[in-house]
Structures are given as structure tokens and as C-alpha cells.
Amino acid sequence: MVTVIDTVARPRARHPEKAHRPDQDVLRKPDWIRVRAPVSKGYSETREIVRSHNLVTVCEEAGCPNIGECWDKKHATFMIMGDICTRACAFCNVSTGRPEALDRAEPDSVARAVAKMGLNHVVITSVDRDDLDDGGAQHFADVIHAIRALSPATTIEILTPDFLRKDGALEIVVAARPDVFNHNLETVPSNYLTVRPGARYFHSIRLLQRVKELDPGMFTKSGIMVGLGEERNEVLQLMDDLRVADVDFLTIGQYLQPTKKHHPVKAFVTPDEFKSYETVAYTKGFLMVAASPLTRSSHHAGDDFARLKAARERKRTALA
């Protein structure tokens, strides 16, 4: 999910319960999505580990507003298979073009960085690699195996592309047994043509459903951005679609436009609206829901994974 940081302090909105409409004031953002610039010692140490292992992180590539908080705690989301994507989603700031060949040393480099950082939980994502026969599925599996070899106690969450038209790719990744399989829908289906033109909404739903068919015990997760012009009823229908696919965990965060060339922000959704989405999502049966302006797929992923496991255990106990 692509974001930008705005660190300029401004007066608190007089009516935070009302959505802030950028068409009224294009440049101003509500105070509830502002964060401090990263300056801590922990941030610098994490950046050095990332640089020394020649790794790419979605934290930097996507300009995540939570980078200061996460890197201070030695949390980073590694983006494998390069920094050039074969697609051009209207919300995403990752470069589009012809990617380079896969770095066969990357799985070991990621595993060493994970071990050096002492991560209890790690999130691995990637660019889309439509140029590869398997969409990069085997590379994902290689990264998972390399981490397991050096850090067997570390739990692994993956955030994958959709492997569109890549027969057998999903099976390769699931067979590597990540602890959490995440694939983001990003937005409601009515926005796909303009926001996510290279993807297919119902293919993504089916991908998540297929994970559960292959491994019923694997946690599944998906996330969306709001503020892209979606209607509330579309978000609620999306929740239902994910629950039909037996998805366990839903994240909802505010979309922020990375540059003027990207899809515009249609609305800044208020904290109260996010809370309402969270409440509804829980009533629909999700085990975990994270919904707030600054929620991102991998933000607090380790703590959320512990809560996710606890929620499943409570559900099993209640049904026993």
C-alpha cells in the first residue's frame, strides 16, 4: 500500500467527525494522519542493516508513514525480486518497467538480515513479476526456506502478488508453509479499471480461497485502502466476499496520493468511520481487524499475529 509522510503540524480540524474532502483543499491533510519524521537511533541501525545486505524494503519504496516507528523497533518489510514492477497500478509509487533477473543470493541475504535484526515475526512482499513463468513463486519459497534455516523460531508472513495466469504458482508458495498468507485486494471492484487495471478482483478473491483449500490451518489476510472514491456499501460487500473465501484478517487504511501523477485522494476517512468499519467487520466473522488512517498491511504485524492466534484459539474453545 502506497503512502507519503506529511510532518507539518496544523491546527486540529474543527469537525473531525466529517470526512475531509480534498477537492475543497487539495494540499491540506487532516491532523489524524500526520507522523513525525524518522530520526531515532533504532531507525538508523535498521537502515544500516538493510543497506549492508543490499536489500529493498516496501517501507522505503512505498514511502510508508510508519517507517520511523517500525524501524525504531527493528521491524522492516522486505520487498524481494527487485524494485521494478511489471504493472502500473494508479495508487503505487514503485517503478514500472522491465525487471532485472532474479538475484539468486537474495534469499540468503534476507535470512541473514532477519537473523541479525532478531525478528520474531517478519513480513516478506514483492513487486509483481509477470515476466516470470511462475510469477516469482519459487523465489518466495526459497526466501521462506532460507529464513527457516537461520531463524526457525521466526514466524513468517508473506504479502504476495496475484500470480495471475501462473498455473501452479500458488501451490509452490503454500507448500513452503508461511504462517500468514496475505494478498491485498487494495480497493473495491468498481475501482479496478482505473486503480488496479492489471488485476482481476474475483481472481484475487479466489486466490485467497484457494489458500484455505490447500492448507486449512494457514492464516489468510487481505487489506484495502479507502479514500479512493469507494462507497460504504461497496466496502461492506467486499468484506462479505472475503468472508466467503474464509479470510481471517482484514486491514483497512487511508490512501495517500504519492505524487500528482497518481490517483487522487477522493476523501480522508475519519477515525470514527474507520472504527465503524472495524465493528462491522468483526460482526461478519473476521478473527482480526485493523482499521485506522495509518493502518498498513505490515504495521504491528508481529503483535497482530499473536492476537490472531489467540482469537482462533478462543473461537475453537467456544465451539468445543
- The pTM of the full predicted model, rounded to 2 decimals, is 0.83
Give residue-wise pLDDT tens across range 17-73: 344 444 444 436 777 676 555 555 666 666 666 666 666 665 555 555 555 555 555
Residue 15 Cα to chain centre, angstroms: 30
H helical segments located in 118-200: 137-150, 169-175, 192-195
**2 Cβ neighbours under 8 A, 6+ residues apart:** 62, 63, 91, 92, 93, 94, 255, 256, 258, 262
Inside any domain, residue 10: no
Please give the residue range of the domain that contains residue 170: 33-319
Phi, psi of 283 (to 5 degrees): -65, -25
Inside any domain, residue 62: yes
Inside any domain, residue 179: yes
Going by pLDDT thresholds of 50, 70 and 90, the confidence category of residue 13 is very low
Give residue-wise pLDDT tens across range 306-320: 999 999 999 999 988
pLDDT mean over 119-128? 93
Cell output for 271: 477515525
pLDDT of residue 272 exceeding 80: yes
Inside any domain, residue 21: no
Instruction: Point out the annotated binding site for [4Fe-4S] cluster.
Output: 59, 64, 70, 85, 89, 92, 298
Q: CATH code at 95?
A: 3.20.20.70
The residue that leads in pLDDT, 2 or 150, is: 150
Inside any domain, residue 17: no
166-168-174 Cα angle (round to 5): 115
The predicted structure's pLDDT at residue 52: 66
Going by pLDDT thresholds of 50, 70 and 90, the confidence category of residue 268 is very high
Which range among 10-24, 89-103, 127-141, 233-247 shows the weakest confidence by mean pLDDT?
Answer: 10-24
User: What total number of domains does the chain contain?
Assistant: 1
Inside any domain, residue 4: no
**24 Cβ neighbours under 8 A, 6+ residues apart:** none
The predicted structure's pLDDT at residue 117: 86
Inside any domain, residue 13: no
Which range among 21-35, 41-55, 212-226, 270-284 shows the weakest confidence by mean pLDDT?
Answer: 21-35
The amino acid at residue 175 is A
The predicted structure's pLDDT at residue 58: 54
Going by pLDDT thresholds of 50, 70 and 90, the confidence category of residue 12 is very low
Which residue do the cell numbers 513463486 mark? 137
Question: For residue 259, how many other CB atoms are within 10 A of its CB?
Answer: 9
Inside any domain, residue 1: no
